[in-house]
């Protein structure tokens, strides 16, 4: 009798997980790679997080994505942390190797990879808006990639200063600036990042604006927005100013590619990931902005 190999198992754990497109993206990538592997989405409450991670270990799962609200809490439940995950203080991807759970963080990798396709990050001057989890991951990854200087603007000085200390701890050059009452000059920045929720679920007009004085942009400026829309007011204004705009979808593609590479050891083709992700995020019968 021919024995069928047991497929490797992977999961998404979070609360909520309904509507999250990760399962479709990853399963499509596995099929394209010729891998008979399985990926499930599991709603896990905060109270059930520790048993869920123990279950991943006991059942022999080879990896998992971790989404809100568990990215910080799961840090204490894995065995080892990557340098980025340790600096960020959060885990969004778990790699299992012979029962050892390694915590990774790819939240900032997506932005760095997307930007690097346009120009090197090494030596870049960065203006970053926001100080939440995404901003912290992005700042750490930019510093690790060799960004020369990072300015962080956020409404909450305590959160901003917490991010600054995290980047300083890994040797990055970073400074906090006050969230401006008026538009802030780009002041020689080569990369401007919106890592806030400004523009989320809103079109290119009528929504709140990230306070950037786009008229001070220099040729070749890259403007990256974490908001997952085809176009936001931030990217529209950047393009009008002659900047190169990168949207949140591109960052998601790169994040997915990195996790798949961590699990398979193979770098996946980006275009199929992009097509599946875009299809999953498009409302039925409608077009995304």
Give domain status of residue 13, yes or no: yes
Whole-model pTM: value is 0.87
Q: What's the total number of domains in the chain?
A: 2
Give domain status of residue 263, yes or no: yes
* pLDDT at residue 286, rounded to an integer: 57
Looking at the DSSP bridge assignments, the partners of residue 62 are none
Q: Where are the beta strands (DSSP E) in 87-154?
A: 93-97, 100-104, 125-129, 149-154
Q: Could you tell me which of 286, 287, 271, 266 has the C-alpha nearest to residue 33?
A: 266
Give domain status of residue 286, yes or no: no
Residue 113: give the domain boundaries: 109-246
Going across the sheet that includes 222-225, the strands are 174-178, 149-154, 125-129, 191-194, 222-225, 244-246
The alpha helices in 92-227, defined as continuous H runs, are 109-116, 133-144, 157-169
Give domain status of residue 289, yes or no: no
Are residues 95 and 153 both part of a single domain? no
Are residues 121 and 206 both part of a single domain? yes
CA atoms of 228 and 47, how far apart (whole Å): 29
Are residues 173 and 265 both part of a single domain? no
SS3 state of residue 245: strand
Give domain status of residue 176, yes or no: yes
Are residues 159 and 264 both part of a single domain? no
Are residues 164 and 65 both part of a single domain? no
Are residues 31 and 150 both part of a single domain? no
Q: Could you tell me which of 110, 87, 147 has the C-alpha nearest to residue 261?
A: 110
Are residues 186 and 204 both part of a single domain? yes
Give domain status of residue 226, yes or no: yes
Q: Which of 71, 151, 160, 258 is catalytic?
A: 71
Domain holding 182: CATH number?
Answer: 3.40.50.720
Answer yes or no: 158 catalytic. no
Domain holding 48: CATH number?
Answer: 3.40.50.10860
Are residues 61 and 146 both part of a single domain? no
* pLDDT at residue 163, rounded to an integer: 95
Per run of 10 residues, the mean pLDDT along the chain (length 289 residues) is 76 93 96 96 97 96 96 97 95 94 95 94 96 93 96 93 95 89 85 89 59 92 90 93 94 95 97 93 63
């Amino acid at each position: 009798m021919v024995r069928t190999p047991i497929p490797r198992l992977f999961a998404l754990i979070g609360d909520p997980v309904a509507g999250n497109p990760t399962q479709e993206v990853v399963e499509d990538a596995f099929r394209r790679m010729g891998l008979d592997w399985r990926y499930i989405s599991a709603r896990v409450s905060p109270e059930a997080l520790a048993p869920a991670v123990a279950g991943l270990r006991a059942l022999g799962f080879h990896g998992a994505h971790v989404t809100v609200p568990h990215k910080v809490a799961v840090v204490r439940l894995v065995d080892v942390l990557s340098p980025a995950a340790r600096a960020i203080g959060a885990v969004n991807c778990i790699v299992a190797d012979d029962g050892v759970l390694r915590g990774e963080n790819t939240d900032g990798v997506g932005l760095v990879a997307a930007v690097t396709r346009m120009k090197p990050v090494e030596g870049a001057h960065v203006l970053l808006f926001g100080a939440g989890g995404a901003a912290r991951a992005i700042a750490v990854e930019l510093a690790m990639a060799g960004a020369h200087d990072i300015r962080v603007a956020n409404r909450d000085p305590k959160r901003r200063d917490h991010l600054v200390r995290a980047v300083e701890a890994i040797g990055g050059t970073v400074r906090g600036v006050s969230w401006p009452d008026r538009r802030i000059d780009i002041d020689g920045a080569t990369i401007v990042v919106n890592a806030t929720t400004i523009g989320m679920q809103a079109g290119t007009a009528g929504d709140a604006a990230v306070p950037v004085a786009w008229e001070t942009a220099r040729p070749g400026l890259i403007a990256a927005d974490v908001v997952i829309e085809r176009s936001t007011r931030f990217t529209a204004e950047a393009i009008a100013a002659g900047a190169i705009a990168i949207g949140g979808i591109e960052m998601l593609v790169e994040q997915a590619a990195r996790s798949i590479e961590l699990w398979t050891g193979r770098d996946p083709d980006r275009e199929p990931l992009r097509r599946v992700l875009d299809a999953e995020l498009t409302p039925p019968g409608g077009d995304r902005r």
